[in-house]
Chains A and B, each alone.
Chain A
Amino acid sequence: MHLPAWSQLWLLSQIEWQRLFLTRRGWLTIAASCLLWFVLLRYLVMPLSQWMLDPAINEGAEMVAGWVDVRQLLLWPRPELSLFWLLALVLSPMAAVLFSAGQICRDRSRGTLRLYCLRISRSSLLLGRFLGQLLVQGTLLAVTLAASLALALWQGAALSLELLSAALFCWVFVMLCLLPFTALMSLMSVWLNSSRAAVSLAIVVLSVLPVVLGVLAYYWPGVLPLFGWLPGAQIPALMNSQPWQSWAPLALPVGQALLLLALSLYSFQRRGI
């Protein structure tokens, strides 16, 4: 009487998903997410998209802040979606770090992990939790994306296949970009005993690594290409892309996620619970 591995993973990810809707912590996450995106859509995306809809803007469009090419954004079917794309690429990794910090450590400190590990392997537990976090983030992203789409329709866009395709692109590509961040938090959660410590270490890793590489590159320019291997390194390039333009930049986050997950599994197998 054993549940197949895929059923275990599905059940575990469903448990994480239910946590979003059935617990106070989950409701707070939804409320914070909705509030943040309401403010962004209402006070940033709405006025900016109206500005971008002005045909005159096409003439003066250029690079903003050195790394966002407004000309590329204007090629999207609707500016609401292109602005959502920009914001999601920047904010979602941060949300992933914050929301998925307790994947393992919360249950380990409480002892709940011991109840699970009597029934399933540690690898199933870790992967199930990881998938659960992706399911949660995918849900939140879908809700906010739907709000952006609704804003576009409200501002006069016609519901077209092109619009829906661009929305689907946003969801798929942002989710792929989140993979290494969620996997990183899986590793931090295995290594550390609290969500707070996991978030702190993740912030240190994500902010110190580029600085260390910068210092190394100053003395040894040969290490410069390593910048391209950092989590989220592909995000600036993606910001200036159009829907379904290229899948190539996504090989990096997928590879990073696989590597981090392998490291998490190895650490989790060896650690006492």
Chain B
Amino acid sequence: MTVLVDCQGLSKHFGNKAVLQQLDLQLHAGAPIALVGANGAGKTTLLSVLCGYIQPDQGRVQVLGHQAGSPALSGRLGALPQDAQFDPDFGLARQLHWLARLQGMSVAKSRQETERVLALVDLTAEAGAKVAQLSHGMRKRLAIAQALLGEPELVLLDEPTAGLDPLHAKALRDCIQRLSKDCTFVISSHNLFELEQLCGTVLMLEQGQIRQQIAQASGAGVLRLQLCQENYQPLLPLLQQLPGLVSFQIVSKLQLDLQYDAERAADFDVLLLQLLHQQGIDYRQLSRGQSLEQLLFQSDG
């Protein structure tokens, strides 16, 4: 598998504060990769080091086989830096065109790419507008558009949906899913729901180190049931009679987590749905596998 990012012994301090501490990391091409962690855990610093915006104090960083920040990465690495804004005095299309030209595209190709990425983020109608006229969400989408110029192999997105309305956040998730066949995304976000939907691997950064690396499995053997009303009491004795059930846990008033023997009862989910139907109990959602929140924080209790 192609190694996209290879970090060894990476350390970065801001004053006395160690933001990255002897971090080792290897990322491979494939499904989107999530980068999670509390505020100040070092996510943005790590992405900034990978983009070459800041130099590490110690350690080695290779991105796509080149030193981070190398001009050889132009066009191969795309990034949405946190809070990066375009020049408010110029038009959207004009600035994307410049970036595409600097990336090495011909005039015709850069125009074509500008139109393509603007369409991807639903900003075609605003192509001629000045950036100063755009809303916060539109500016964010524009910044995402520049990251996709030239179809890079690796795209680093720092909080891509922060500030986006639900409609465009969903559109962006769909876009990432669609593009992730040809490109690997690394997404830093606090939105676990979003990462759960998009990412195959989750990296948890804590105190400047990768504390956990979780590969989201198929989720066989675990079901999460979310009910519409707080009426699970009559259901509990019946659940225990379902063949294959190992245990269940009442997570909240509306949510039950069930563990079952997937080998013995492959159709456990079907049986559960039939039971709900028979008992006239409405459910909101039935999903397989543990939530990302559970996976990340179960060890913390």
Contacts and interface: CB of A to CB of B under 8 A. Distances in A.
Interface string B96-129: 0011011111000000000000000000000000
A117 interface: yes
B163 to A, nearest CB: 14
Contact of B81 (A1, A8, A19, A111): A111
B53 interface: yes
A12 B102 CA distance: 8
B71 A23 contact: no
Contact of B86 (A15, A112, A120): A112
A190 to B, nearest CB: 15
A117 B54 CA distance: 11
A119 B98 CA distance: 11
A116 B105 CA distance: 14
Given A2-B71, A117-B69, A119-B75, A112 B99 contact: no
Interface in A166-199: none
Contacts of A110: 84-85, 87
Interface in A1-56: 1-3, 8, 11-12, 15, 18-19, 22-25
Contacts of B99: 115-116, 119
A22 B104 contact: no
A11 to B, nearest CB: 6
B53 A11 contact: no
A58 interface: no
Contacts of B84: 110-112, 114-115
B85 A118 contact: no
Where chain A touches its partner, the secondary structure class is helix
Contacts of B75: 1-2, 119
Contact of A114 (B53, B101, B103): B53
A272 interface: yes
B33 interface: no
Interface string B44-71: 0000100111110000000000000101
B42 interface: no
A22 B90 contact: yes
Interface residues of B, number: 32
A111 B85 contact: yes
A121 B53 CA distance: 11
B205 interface: no
Interface residues of A, number: 29
B98 A15 contact: yes
Contacts of A23: 89-90
A273 interface: yes
A1 B85 contact: no
Contacts of B32: none
B208 interface: no
Interface string A97-114: 000000000010011101
Contacts of A118: 51, 73-74, 77-79
Contacts of B77: 118
A117 B103 CA distance: 10
A204 B83 CA distance: 32
A120 to B, nearest CB: 5
B146 interface: yes
B103 to A, nearest CB: 5
B89 A25 contact: yes
A111 B98 contact: no
A8 B102 contact: yes
A272 B71 contact: no
B53 A3 contact: no
Interface of B: 48, 51-55, 69, 71, 73-75, 77-79, 81, 83-87, 89-90, 98-99, 101-105, 143, 146, 150
30 contacts: A2-B71, A2-B75, A3-B102, A11-B98, A11-B101, A12-B102, A15-B98, A19-B90, A22-B89, A22-B90, A110-B87, A111-B83, A111-B84, A112-B84, A112-B85, A114-B51, A114-B79, A116-B102, A117-B52, A117-B53, A118-B77, A119-B75, A119-B99, A120-B71, A120-B102, A121-B71, A272-B48, A272-B54, A272-B55, A273-B53
